[in-house]
Structure 1
């Protein structure tokens, strides 16, 4: 066991775990960098749960878990998601910050003793010598929904801790008022420093069943990319402005009126974009089933145009009939691009892409219907 680990466990047994119950903070301890990977999650009211296609055994210890989630209505931070101008929020803790500011004693009355002990032990078992603790929060309509840790995307730029909003296992709670879902995830320091968070509304909790939000942000809530996934109920073209697959760059209010029709479900997302400081990236393609979501992993601007890497990821379910989807992303940029390329990769995991499409992008409406993408396996 490393000296840092020994010091941390000693301090946690004396007071750091006590801080979770409301005891004073210890003096500052060692401070490492941030980061993480792995692919599992746990709720505090269930020892075992399923995330993606991975089921965690009931024999798993808190040391082995990668994440813990709980729902509450009282704040656990002096400033958190309830005080933010967004529905999402995150903090990154090393040992010293954990004992000083992370206190869940205010929500202890909302948890069972077993839930509270599991949370307390999870924080105490976190080795801050080589891990950081990402605490991600989201305001959700009810306890029917929860945050789930999915994976860390090392191929993204910047690397991203990917979290989804899903339906809570079992019967929905009777409480229908808005609640805060808080997820604690261990992030190894082997990932590049300070990964961003990508929050995918897999359950359609924030918008609708056919319009799902995807937010990529730096903690606490600095927006990097705002995206929506538009999902139809069957294989059909969502917008006639471009083919399937196809892409477009919507860079002004004038081109926005040419891109989106009045009755489109995503009309407000496009038209409410502030085109003096950002533009809309649009990609329409197919996915193996309707459990996939897409978002830009990276957006790079260069002399030859914008280069976009879009990840198309399955969270639940296997291959099935193909569906069409449309992903729209607000990209902050003072100088709007005229052209570019979107590389769309269909992935089941971090093992590699199942399919890859390269789609030309243009800011000219005359070129939108004429995309000629290439597809590789």
Structure 2
């Protein structure tokens, strides 16, 4: 028997930000879809239900005019389905080809990583959020997009303001203002380099967009660059920190990876399952439909909580544990279906094969600080916002 989505109203929004996993488990155990008043959204948290939804874009559409992503960034290809989505994705595909990643981007990302790690190696301690992960992600993405050189903090702030705006389900006016201000800055940065990319084709994302067939209209370029900045900076930043934290908090697993480098890909996949950087994204129900035990009305916006699904104990044993020896199973950290993240292979290469292995190789006896524990925050986007460490300089 199906019924309307049950309601959970005794959860504070701050609880979602601080530690959403007990709430996610409660939602999973309650029904296939639950309206969580603090988020002002009906959440889907079970692994199998999200896979089912992603396989049915006709019933569960990415095209949602009321989406916060559309409001903050404009009509991006991430909020389109079918041919429109495919066209937008095809326009950026040259920048993400495996050969381009291997031959062009990997050497550049390795240079950035080496420079950052060398610059902090003599200090003996640092917060890796500010000292490594944020600048690494920002500088790499700046180059990939094809922007003029700017302080890494500028792009990082734009990204944070955009993702705060895209997750602003509490309707905070100041968060919305900062997101729109970031959007204006990005528009100006695009305008400053667009003629150069038109005249000089290159592997950058902006070059791919302007040389696509047909060329991408300027309003779509602006929107799509914003969504790439929003997701493409925080995901590798948070994955760097999460993978580092997972290994430092589990010394036996860390030693196994250092002895057997072929385990790095396993460690990376487990890190993004354990704390999924992009934890939730929306879909719109296009027609009344049953989702397992819940009737969803036409027009309802739902939130697919992949961060919850990746800890679904129906699929993963001991899901709250970081375990690089977990039996190999697919996860949803990069989404699924037609909207599977275009930057997946860049992230796997950058985080799992370059930055974190280099970090443990160069900083001897890297360890967590007992007097300054890590701080993890967020639910729509989640990751360490502070990771203080020490090493033997």
TM-score interval, smaller chain: under 0.3
Structure ranking higher in strand proportion: 1
Greater relative contact order (Cα 8 A, min sep 6): structure 1 or 2? 2
TM-score, normalising length from structure 2?
0.27
Structure ID, larger Rg = 1
